[in-house]
Structure 1
Amino acid sequence: MNKSIALILATASATALAVPAAAQENAAFTGPRIEGIAGYDISKAGSSVDNDLNDEDDQSIDGLLYGVGVGYDVALGGFVLGAEAELSSSTAKTEIVDGDLEDLGFGANLETGRDIYVGARAGVLAGDNLLVYAKGGYTNARFNLLANNGVDEIETDLDLDGWRVGAGAEYAMSENTFVKLEYRYSNYSEGEFDFNDDDFFDDDTGESDRFDADLDRHQIAVGFGYRF
């Protein structure tokens, strides 16, 4: 009887110690987080668009990706589920070239603007400090267009709606700090022009009708963050 009691007490003690240990092991991937990101960004016409009409035009624009993100994760055993949001931008830009238009005094410049992303991610623990995950959600990107006819300038924002998917790995350097590396693909399929000069529209909305689009975006991002 004494041996049975001792065995029960030993088992209960081991279980009680194991629960905090497991919780501590997953603490690096649980709770709210904030992070800074940087990386490579490239945008180009999608598969349904013929962008080879002018050999002088850039067929894609690329530059430095930078931004901030926030999120909240919950560890469930060996799995991690989370929600996240991100605000980023890019240095990618180009000058739209057309010899015939240039002779007439026309020109245009296109710059990448802000990008808003809201989504979720799900991952598995590949080790005590390593999370491998996939992600997906909604993204809204803005491109800034400045055109001129040699006399007047027109500033236009192109807003595009689309979706994003990606995959990455996150390494917990401690319970509160982490680094990550991920690849993201975005496709924008619908958009509208927002003119800064409302005189173009009788209703003073400054917005064009929505139209179909096809723009692909590829990004490789590294991040450093803090978990609260």
Structure 2
Amino acid sequence: MKTLTALAVAAAAFAATPALAQDESNFAGPYFGGYVGYDHVTINEDTTGTSGSKDGVAFGAIAGYNIDMGNVVLGIEGEIGDASTRASETDVFVLGDQATLSANLDLFIGARAGVKVSDKALVYVKGGYANTKVNLAYDDNDGFAYDESDDLSGFRIGGGVEIAATDRISFRAEYRYSQYSEYKYQGVATGLDANRHQVVFGAVGRF
């Protein structure tokens, strides 16, 4: 009887070990946070091969869910953000004209995969679908001008380091690149597309 009792206790302890390890993870479960950082947007004109770029500040909110598999952490992540960046280019279609492209709402949903280099440090990569609402203002300085918005779909890839300050709060440093589709004016292709490079710093809380 004592032997059976001892075996039962040992089995229960063994079964509880994975759950305990999961609970003690600094990266598992749902999380929410925010980011702020450097934003660099480039406008490309396919016909002439010209481009223009501008710097600004990116900021937004992060939400996601992680599964800690031991040395590897897998998850899904979403972002909603904005940026102060406005990029302008002159002589786009005719001499003396000007086009200004500004990004408004910036959305991302994708996957994240990381490797724990310690209990408190995670090196990760991310990638997925990106969408930004942009506004294009154009003036040929000869009587024709327009100001319209369009939703541009694309992709985002990036990577970074996340450091757990406590079992609930961690800080991030991340680089990411986003490429967006061609801007269309009333359904007509303009030859203008955009990409952006960002270096952001964030904080997330796990609950």
Other-structure match for 1:72: 65
Instruction: State the match for 1:35 in structure 2.
Output: 33
Q: Which has the higher helix share?
A: 1
What is the deviation of 1:169? Answer: 1.2
Question: Which residue pairs with 1:197 in the alignment?
Answer: none
Structure 1, unmatched stretches of 5+, are: 53-57, 194-206
Q: How far has the Cα of 1:69 moved from its partner?
A: 1.4
Structure 2 contact 52–87 (Cα < 8 Å) conserved: no
Choose from 99, 102, 113 the match for 1:111: 102
1:179 aligns with 2:171: yes
- 1:1-228 aligned within 5 A: 15=14, 18-19=17-18, 21-26=20-25, 28-45=26-43, 51-52=49-50, 59-98=52-91, 108-148=99-139, 149=141, 154-193=146-185, 207-209=186-188, 214-228=193-207
Give the TM-score taking structure 2 as reference length.
Answer: 0.79
Tell me how far apart the structure 2 counterparts of residues 188 and 138 of structure 1 sit (CA, whole Å): 10
Q: Is the 8 A contact 2:44 2:52 kept in 1?
A: no
Q: Structure 1 pair 212/29, CA: closer, same or farther in 2 (3 Å)?
A: farther
Q: Contact between 1:87 and 1:117, CA under 8 Å: does it hold in 2?
A: yes
Which structure has the highest strand share of the two? 2
Give the distance between the partners of 2:48 and 2:144, measured in 1 at CA: 30
- When the two chains are superposed, the root-mean-square deviation of aligned CA atoms in Å is 3.2
How many residues matched? 203
* Aligned sequence identity (%): 35
CA contact (8 A) 1:49 1:214 kept: no
Change (3 A) 1:156 1:46: closer
For the Cα contact (< 8 Å) 1:25–1:128, is it kept in 2? no
Q: Are the structure 2 counterparts of residues 217 and 80 from structure 1 closer, same or farther at C-alpha, using a change threshold of 3 Å?
A: same
The structure that has the greater radius of gyration is 1
Unaligned runs of 5+ in 2: none
